[in-house]
Amino acid sequence: MRFFFWCWSGEEQLYSGPDEDGRGSPFRVPRRGNYSNQCEDKPAQDCGCNTLHRHRAEEEEDEEGGENIQHPAHKYSERGNKEDILSKMVLLQGGWFLMGTDDPGIPQDGEGPQRRVWLNPFYIEEHEVTNLQFQLFTNITHHVTEAERFGDSFVFEGLLSEEVRSSLSHAVAAAPWWSPVKGADWRHPEGPDSSIVHRMDHPALHVSWADAQVYCEWAGRRLPSEAEWEFACRGGLQDRLYPWGNKLMPRGQHYANLFQGEFPSHNTAEDGFAQTSPVKKFPANAFGLYDMVGNVWEWTADWWSVHHTRDNAHNPKGPETGRDRVKKGGSYMCHKSYCYRYRCAARSQNTPDSSASNLGFRCAADSTP
Protein backbone atom coordinates (compact mmCIF):
# COMPACT_ATOMS: atom_id res chain seq x y z
CA MET A 1 0.00 0.00 0.00
CA ARG A 2 1.44 3.33 -0.97
CA PHE A 3 0.57 6.63 0.56
CA PHE A 4 0.42 9.94 -1.16
CA PHE A 5 0.38 13.37 0.30
CA TRP A 6 -0.76 16.70 -0.94
CA CYS A 7 0.38 20.08 0.12
CA TRP A 8 -0.55 23.56 -0.91
CA SER A 9 1.50 26.49 0.11
CA GLY A 10 0.46 29.71 -1.48
CA GLU A 11 2.36 29.89 -4.72
CA GLU A 12 4.29 26.78 -3.97
CA GLN A 13 2.76 23.44 -4.62
CA LEU A 14 4.82 21.06 -2.65
CA TYR A 15 3.23 17.94 -3.83
CA SER A 16 -0.04 17.22 -5.24
CA GLY A 17 -1.09 20.74 -5.56
CA PRO A 18 -4.75 20.89 -6.06
CA ASP A 19 -5.39 24.09 -7.65
CA GLU A 20 -6.34 23.66 -10.95
CA ASP A 21 -9.12 25.16 -12.44
CA GLY A 22 -8.95 26.52 -9.15
CA ARG A 23 -5.41 27.40 -8.63
CA GLY A 24 -2.84 25.30 -10.17
CA SER A 25 -2.99 21.74 -10.89
CA PRO A 26 -5.38 19.21 -9.65
CA PHE A 27 -2.64 17.14 -8.27
CA ARG A 28 0.98 16.63 -8.64
CA VAL A 29 1.80 13.21 -7.49
CA PRO A 30 5.35 12.06 -7.14
CA ARG A 31 5.61 8.99 -9.18
CA ARG A 32 6.55 6.22 -6.84
CA GLY A 33 8.89 5.51 -3.99
CA ASN A 34 9.60 7.30 -0.78
CA TYR A 35 7.18 10.07 -0.17
CA SER A 36 7.17 12.18 2.87
CA ASN A 37 4.93 14.96 3.84
CA GLN A 38 7.18 17.93 3.36
CA CYS A 39 4.62 20.12 5.03
CA GLU A 40 5.11 18.55 8.39
CA ASP A 41 7.82 20.99 9.37
CA LYS A 42 5.83 23.99 8.25
CA PRO A 43 3.08 25.70 10.18
CA ALA A 44 -0.24 24.43 8.98
CA GLN A 45 -1.57 27.94 8.49
CA ASP A 46 1.28 28.70 6.08
CA CYS A 47 0.93 25.56 4.15
CA GLY A 48 -2.76 25.03 4.10
CA CYS A 49 -1.37 21.63 4.30
CA ASN A 50 -3.46 18.55 4.41
CA THR A 51 -2.43 15.01 4.43
CA LEU A 52 -4.43 12.75 2.27
CA HIS A 53 -3.85 9.08 1.97
CA ARG A 54 -4.38 7.60 -1.38
CA HIS A 55 -4.53 3.86 -1.27
CA ARG A 56 -2.99 2.72 -4.45
CA ALA A 57 -3.26 -0.79 -5.70
CA GLU A 58 -0.28 -3.00 -5.04
CA GLU A 59 2.03 -3.46 -7.97
CA GLU A 60 0.98 -7.09 -8.23
CA GLU A 61 -2.58 -5.93 -8.55
CA ASP A 62 -1.48 -3.42 -11.13
CA GLU A 63 -0.23 -6.29 -13.23
CA GLU A 64 -3.58 -8.02 -12.95
CA GLY A 65 -5.28 -4.75 -13.70
CA GLY A 66 -3.22 -4.59 -16.84
CA GLU A 67 -4.82 -7.80 -17.95
CA ASN A 68 -8.28 -6.68 -17.01
CA ILE A 69 -8.19 -3.56 -19.03
CA GLN A 70 -7.98 -5.39 -22.31
CA HIS A 71 -11.72 -5.68 -22.02
CA PRO A 72 -13.74 -3.13 -23.80
CA ALA A 73 -16.12 -3.44 -26.56
CA HIS A 74 -13.63 -2.64 -29.20
CA LYS A 75 -15.38 -1.61 -32.31
CA TYR A 76 -12.18 -1.52 -34.25
CA SER A 77 -9.74 -4.26 -34.98
CA GLU A 78 -5.99 -4.14 -34.86
CA ARG A 79 -6.04 -3.92 -38.63
CA GLY A 80 -7.02 -0.28 -38.33
CA ASN A 81 -4.93 1.90 -40.59
CA LYS A 82 -2.85 4.28 -38.52
CA GLU A 83 -3.06 6.99 -41.14
CA ASP A 84 -6.83 6.87 -40.95
CA ILE A 85 -6.69 7.22 -37.20
CA LEU A 86 -4.36 10.14 -36.78
CA SER A 87 -5.46 13.74 -36.72
CA LYS A 88 -4.88 15.98 -39.66
CA MET A 89 -1.89 18.22 -39.04
CA VAL A 90 -1.54 21.86 -39.92
CA LEU A 91 1.81 23.20 -41.15
CA LEU A 92 2.84 26.37 -39.34
CA GLN A 93 5.62 28.44 -40.83
CA GLY A 94 7.13 29.60 -37.56
CA GLY A 95 9.38 32.64 -37.55
CA TRP A 96 9.58 35.28 -34.82
CA PHE A 97 6.72 35.77 -32.41
CA LEU A 98 6.11 37.29 -28.99
CA MET A 99 5.81 34.59 -26.33
CA GLY A 100 4.40 35.24 -22.87
CA THR A 101 3.02 38.54 -21.65
CA ASP A 102 4.06 41.62 -19.71
CA ASP A 103 0.55 41.85 -18.32
CA PRO A 104 0.23 38.46 -16.66
CA GLY A 105 -3.15 37.30 -15.44
CA ILE A 106 -1.40 35.04 -12.93
CA PRO A 107 2.15 36.37 -12.40
CA GLN A 108 3.27 33.47 -10.19
CA ASP A 109 2.76 31.11 -13.12
CA GLY A 110 5.69 32.66 -14.98
CA GLU A 111 3.59 34.07 -17.82
CA GLY A 112 6.14 36.82 -18.34
CA PRO A 113 8.17 38.52 -19.39
CA GLN A 114 7.16 38.81 -22.99
CA ARG A 115 10.08 37.71 -25.17
CA ARG A 116 10.89 37.23 -28.86
CA VAL A 117 11.04 33.61 -29.90
CA TRP A 118 12.02 32.10 -33.24
CA LEU A 119 10.49 28.83 -34.32
CA ASN A 120 11.32 26.65 -37.28
CA PRO A 121 8.34 25.43 -39.31
CA PHE A 122 6.44 22.62 -37.62
CA TYR A 123 3.22 20.68 -37.85
CA ILE A 124 0.58 20.45 -35.15
CA GLU A 125 -2.61 18.42 -34.94
CA GLU A 126 -5.73 20.43 -35.60
CA HIS A 127 -7.56 19.13 -32.54
CA GLU A 128 -7.05 17.36 -29.22
CA VAL A 129 -6.56 13.58 -29.42
CA THR A 130 -10.00 12.02 -29.11
CA ASN A 131 -11.31 8.97 -27.29
CA LEU A 132 -11.76 7.23 -30.63
CA GLN A 133 -8.18 7.87 -31.62
CA PHE A 134 -6.87 6.82 -28.23
CA GLN A 135 -8.99 3.68 -28.30
CA LEU A 136 -7.66 2.68 -31.69
CA PHE A 137 -4.12 3.35 -30.46
CA THR A 138 -4.60 1.12 -27.42
CA ASN A 139 -6.26 -1.57 -29.53
CA ILE A 140 -3.15 -1.73 -31.66
CA THR A 141 -0.47 -1.19 -29.05
CA HIS A 142 -2.18 -2.57 -25.91
CA HIS A 143 -0.83 0.44 -24.10
CA VAL A 144 -1.91 0.60 -20.46
CA THR A 145 -2.16 4.15 -19.15
CA GLU A 146 -0.65 5.24 -15.87
CA ALA A 147 -4.09 5.91 -14.38
CA GLU A 148 -4.99 2.29 -15.14
CA ARG A 149 -1.76 1.06 -13.56
CA PHE A 150 -2.17 3.21 -10.49
CA GLY A 151 -5.83 2.29 -10.23
CA ASP A 152 -7.21 5.79 -9.87
CA SER A 153 -7.24 9.29 -11.26
CA PHE A 154 -8.62 12.68 -10.35
CA VAL A 155 -12.16 13.67 -11.22
CA PHE A 156 -14.05 16.91 -10.72
CA GLU A 157 -16.52 15.99 -8.00
CA GLY A 158 -19.39 17.76 -9.65
CA LEU A 159 -19.33 15.10 -12.37
CA LEU A 160 -19.49 12.06 -10.11
CA SER A 161 -22.52 9.85 -9.67
CA GLU A 162 -24.03 9.60 -6.21
CA GLU A 163 -22.75 6.07 -5.95
CA VAL A 164 -19.15 7.00 -6.69
CA ARG A 165 -19.36 10.11 -4.52
CA SER A 166 -20.61 8.11 -1.57
CA SER A 167 -17.68 5.71 -1.93
CA LEU A 168 -15.06 8.43 -1.69
CA SER A 169 -12.95 8.50 1.39
CA HIS A 170 -11.42 11.89 0.82
CA ALA A 171 -11.00 14.79 -1.52
CA VAL A 172 -8.13 17.18 -2.00
CA ALA A 173 -8.51 19.46 0.97
CA ALA A 174 -7.26 22.66 -0.62
CA ALA A 175 -9.42 22.04 -3.67
CA PRO A 176 -12.28 19.86 -2.48
CA TRP A 177 -13.82 19.74 -5.93
CA TRP A 178 -11.10 17.28 -6.92
CA SER A 179 -11.38 13.70 -5.78
CA PRO A 180 -9.13 10.74 -6.47
CA VAL A 181 -11.53 8.17 -7.86
CA LYS A 182 -10.72 4.51 -7.93
CA GLY A 183 -11.27 3.05 -11.37
CA ALA A 184 -11.28 6.44 -13.12
CA ASP A 185 -9.34 6.24 -16.36
CA TRP A 186 -9.69 7.27 -19.98
CA ARG A 187 -12.37 4.65 -20.60
CA HIS A 188 -14.20 5.59 -17.40
CA PRO A 189 -13.78 9.34 -17.09
CA GLU A 190 -15.99 9.71 -14.00
CA GLY A 191 -15.20 6.35 -12.44
CA PRO A 192 -16.20 2.74 -12.99
CA ASP A 193 -19.88 3.46 -13.68
CA SER A 194 -19.10 5.88 -16.52
CA SER A 195 -18.04 5.27 -20.10
CA ILE A 196 -16.93 7.02 -23.26
CA VAL A 197 -19.40 5.26 -25.54
CA HIS A 198 -21.22 8.45 -26.39
CA ARG A 199 -18.09 10.59 -26.27
CA MET A 200 -15.84 9.06 -28.89
CA ASP A 201 -15.27 12.45 -30.50
CA HIS A 202 -14.43 14.11 -27.18
CA PRO A 203 -10.82 14.53 -26.05
CA ALA A 204 -9.21 11.58 -24.28
CA LEU A 205 -8.90 12.25 -20.53
CA HIS A 206 -6.86 10.79 -17.68
CA VAL A 207 -3.83 10.58 -19.95
CA SER A 208 -0.50 11.27 -18.27
CA TRP A 209 2.39 13.08 -19.94
CA ALA A 210 4.11 9.73 -20.35
CA ASP A 211 1.00 8.24 -21.98
CA ALA A 212 0.79 11.20 -24.32
CA GLN A 213 4.45 10.71 -25.21
CA VAL A 214 3.84 7.08 -26.11
CA TYR A 215 0.87 7.96 -28.29
CA CYS A 216 2.74 10.70 -30.16
CA GLU A 217 5.80 8.50 -30.68
CA TRP A 218 3.60 5.71 -31.98
CA ALA A 219 2.06 8.22 -34.35
CA GLY A 220 5.52 9.20 -35.62
CA ARG A 221 4.99 12.56 -33.96
CA ARG A 222 5.95 14.25 -30.70
CA LEU A 223 4.49 16.59 -28.13
CA PRO A 224 4.77 20.28 -29.04
CA SER A 225 7.20 22.44 -27.11
CA GLU A 226 5.51 25.09 -25.01
CA ALA A 227 6.70 27.72 -27.48
CA GLU A 228 5.23 25.81 -30.41
CA TRP A 229 1.96 25.32 -28.56
CA GLU A 230 1.72 29.02 -27.74
CA PHE A 231 2.63 30.04 -31.29
CA ALA A 232 -0.13 27.74 -32.52
CA CYS A 233 -2.58 29.15 -29.98
CA ARG A 234 -1.99 32.73 -31.06
CA GLY A 235 -3.05 32.04 -34.61
CA GLY A 236 -0.77 34.74 -36.01
CA LEU A 237 -2.18 37.48 -33.75
CA GLN A 238 0.31 39.48 -31.72
CA ASP A 239 -0.04 40.12 -27.99
CA ARG A 240 -3.66 39.06 -27.73
CA LEU A 241 -5.27 37.20 -24.86
CA TYR A 242 -7.11 34.52 -26.77
CA PRO A 243 -6.62 32.66 -30.05
CA TRP A 244 -9.23 34.93 -31.63
CA GLY A 245 -8.40 38.30 -30.04
CA ASN A 246 -8.90 40.16 -26.78
CA LYS A 247 -12.65 39.89 -26.35
CA LEU A 248 -13.80 36.71 -24.66
CA MET A 249 -17.13 36.56 -26.46
CA PRO A 250 -17.07 38.41 -29.78
CA ARG A 251 -20.61 39.23 -30.89
CA GLY A 252 -21.88 37.45 -27.78
CA GLN A 253 -20.67 34.09 -29.06
CA HIS A 254 -18.75 31.48 -27.12
CA TYR A 255 -15.40 30.70 -28.73
CA ALA A 256 -14.26 28.05 -26.28
CA ASN A 257 -15.62 25.44 -23.89
CA LEU A 258 -15.13 27.09 -20.48
CA PHE A 259 -17.04 27.27 -17.19
CA GLN A 260 -19.93 29.70 -16.78
CA GLY A 261 -21.70 30.26 -13.49
CA GLU A 262 -20.41 29.99 -9.94
CA PHE A 263 -17.35 27.83 -9.69
CA PRO A 264 -17.36 25.07 -8.58
CA SER A 265 -20.95 24.52 -7.50
CA HIS A 266 -23.07 25.83 -10.35
CA ASN A 267 -22.12 25.37 -13.98
CA THR A 268 -24.73 26.97 -16.21
CA ALA A 269 -23.08 25.44 -19.28
CA GLU A 270 -24.11 28.51 -21.22
CA ASP A 271 -21.64 27.49 -23.90
CA GLY A 272 -23.53 24.24 -24.35
CA PHE A 273 -21.25 21.95 -22.36
CA ALA A 274 -20.86 21.28 -18.66
CA GLN A 275 -18.11 18.79 -19.37
CA THR A 276 -15.89 18.17 -22.36
CA SER A 277 -17.25 18.90 -25.80
CA PRO A 278 -16.65 17.09 -29.07
CA VAL A 279 -13.50 18.44 -30.67
CA LYS A 280 -14.04 21.12 -33.31
CA LYS A 281 -17.32 22.31 -31.78
CA PHE A 282 -16.04 25.85 -31.34
CA PRO A 283 -14.53 28.07 -34.04
CA ALA A 284 -10.99 27.39 -35.20
CA ASN A 285 -8.36 30.10 -34.92
CA ALA A 286 -6.77 31.64 -37.99
CA PHE A 287 -4.38 28.68 -38.27
CA GLY A 288 -7.32 26.26 -38.47
CA LEU A 289 -6.68 24.88 -34.97
CA TYR A 290 -9.52 23.99 -32.61
CA ASP A 291 -9.95 24.18 -28.83
CA MET A 292 -6.48 25.60 -28.25
CA VAL A 293 -7.96 27.16 -25.15
CA GLY A 294 -10.69 25.41 -23.24
CA ASN A 295 -12.14 21.93 -23.54
CA VAL A 296 -9.09 20.19 -22.01
CA TRP A 297 -5.66 21.25 -20.87
CA GLU A 298 -2.93 20.02 -23.17
CA TRP A 299 0.45 18.59 -22.25
CA THR A 300 3.55 20.11 -23.80
CA ALA A 301 7.03 18.61 -23.97
CA ASP A 302 8.72 21.17 -21.71
CA TRP A 303 9.77 20.89 -18.10
CA TRP A 304 8.21 23.59 -15.92
CA SER A 305 9.96 26.73 -14.76
CA VAL A 306 8.57 30.13 -13.88
CA HIS A 307 11.84 31.89 -14.64
CA HIS A 308 12.26 33.39 -18.10
CA THR A 309 14.44 36.13 -19.51
CA ARG A 310 13.75 38.69 -22.20
CA ASP A 311 16.55 37.30 -24.32
CA ASN A 312 15.63 36.27 -27.81
CA ALA A 313 15.35 32.51 -28.09
CA HIS A 314 15.55 30.09 -31.00
CA ASN A 315 13.35 27.00 -30.81
CA PRO A 316 13.33 26.99 -26.99
CA LYS A 317 12.64 23.64 -25.36
CA GLY A 318 12.38 24.73 -21.72
CA PRO A 319 14.63 23.63 -18.85
CA GLU A 320 16.73 20.49 -19.28
CA THR A 321 15.33 18.90 -16.15
CA GLY A 322 12.49 19.46 -13.75
CA ARG A 323 9.76 17.88 -11.72
CA ASP A 324 6.69 19.01 -13.62
CA ARG A 325 5.73 19.31 -17.24
CA VAL A 326 4.01 22.35 -18.71
CA LYS A 327 0.37 22.18 -19.72
CA LYS A 328 -1.42 24.90 -21.67
CA GLY A 329 -4.82 26.23 -22.60
CA GLY A 330 -7.09 25.72 -19.61
CA SER A 331 -10.17 23.55 -19.68
CA TYR A 332 -13.95 23.33 -19.49
CA MET A 333 -13.46 23.90 -15.76
CA CYS A 334 -11.78 27.28 -16.14
CA HIS A 335 -13.61 30.29 -14.78
CA LYS A 336 -12.14 33.75 -14.47
CA SER A 337 -12.72 33.76 -10.71
CA TYR A 338 -10.69 30.63 -10.16
CA CYS A 339 -8.63 29.69 -13.14
CA TYR A 340 -8.04 32.54 -15.51
CA ARG A 341 -5.86 30.31 -17.58
CA TYR A 342 -7.77 30.07 -20.81
CA ARG A 343 -5.31 32.49 -22.42
CA CYS A 344 -2.47 31.71 -24.81
CA ALA A 345 0.19 33.04 -22.41
CA ALA A 346 -1.27 31.20 -19.42
CA ARG A 347 0.32 28.02 -18.20
CA SER A 348 0.25 25.47 -15.46
CA GLN A 349 1.99 22.26 -14.55
CA ASN A 350 1.66 18.70 -13.38
CA THR A 351 4.02 15.87 -12.59
CA PRO A 352 4.43 13.72 -15.70
CA ASP A 353 2.44 10.84 -14.21
CA SER A 354 -0.53 13.00 -13.25
CA SER A 355 -3.87 12.53 -14.89
CA ALA A 356 -7.25 14.13 -14.50
CA SER A 357 -10.68 14.57 -16.00
CA ASN A 358 -9.74 17.82 -17.71
CA LEU A 359 -6.28 17.09 -19.10
CA GLY A 360 -5.48 15.79 -22.59
CA PHE A 361 -3.03 16.49 -25.40
CA ARG A 362 -2.35 16.90 -29.10
CA CYS A 363 0.80 16.01 -31.04
CA ALA A 364 3.15 17.98 -33.23
CA ALA A 365 5.86 17.00 -35.73
CA ASP A 366 8.82 18.36 -37.63
CA SER A 367 7.54 16.90 -40.85
CA THR A 368 4.72 14.78 -42.12
CA PRO A 369 5.33 11.02 -41.93
Q: Is 125 in the site for Ca ion (CB under 5 A)?
A: no
Give whichever of 172 and 256 is closer to Ca ion, judged by the CB atom: 256
What does the radius of gyration of the chain's CA atoms come to, in whole angstroms?
19
Tell me which stretch binds Ca ion (CB under 5 A): 42-50, 96-104, 232-240, 327-335. 327-335
**Residues 293-312 interacting with Ca ion (rule: CB under 5 A):** 295
Q: Is 329 in the site for Ca ion (CB under 5 A)?
A: yes
| Helices and strands (H, E) in the chain, number of each type | 8, 14
Give whichever of 226 and 271 is closer to Ca ion, judged by the CB atom: 271
Distance separating the N- and C-terminal Cα atoms of the chain? 44
Tell me which stretch binds Ca ion (CB under 5 A): 35-43, 76-84, 238-246, 324-332. 324-332
How far is it, in rounded angstroms, from Cα 213 to Cα 215? 5
Neighbours of 337 (CB within 10 A): 10
- The residue type of 191 is G
Report the SS3 class of residue 255.
coil
Nearest to 250 by CA among 283, 290, 289: 283
Give whichever of 158 and 192 is closer to Ca ion, judged by the CB atom: 158
Site string for Ca ion, 189-228 (x = CB under 5 A): ----------------------------------------
DSSP class of 293: S
Q: Residue 271 CB, nearest distance to Ca ion (Å)? A: 4
331 with 299: CB under 8 angstroms? no
How far is it, in rounded angstroms, from Cα 100 to Cα 348? 13
Tell me which stretch binds Ca ion (CB under 5 A): 42-50, 159-167, 270-278, 302-310. 270-278
Q: Is 273 in the site for Ca ion (CB under 5 A)?
A: yes
Q: Residue 254 CB, nearest distance to Ca ion (Å)? A: 8
Binding test (CB under 5 A) with Ca ion, winner from 20, 148, 271, 302: 271
Nearest to 5 by CA among 48, 53, 47: 53
Q: Residue 212 CB, nearest distance to Ca ion (Å)? A: 13
Give whichever of 16 and 257 is closer to Ca ion, judged by the CB atom: 257
Residue 10, CB half-sphere, CA atoms under 13 Å: how many? 7
Q: Residue 285 CB, nearest distance to Ca ion (Å)? A: 12
Q: Is 257 in the site for Ca ion (CB under 5 A)?
A: yes
- The residue type of 263 is F
Give whichever of 19 and 271 is closer to Ca ion, judged by the CB atom: 271
Tell me which stretch binds Ca ion (CB under 5 A): 72-80, 164-172, 272-280, 334-342. 272-280
**Ramachandran angles phi, psi of 21, nearest 5°:** 25, 30
Q: Is 361 in the site for Ca ion (CB under 5 A)?
A: no
Give whichever of 132 and 174 is closer to Ca ion, judged by the CB atom: 132
- For 84, the enclosing helix (H) or strand (E) is helix 82-85
312 with 116: CB under 8 angstroms? yes
Q: Provide the binding-site residues for Ca ion, judged by CB under 5 A.
A: 257, 271, 273, 291, 295, 329, 332
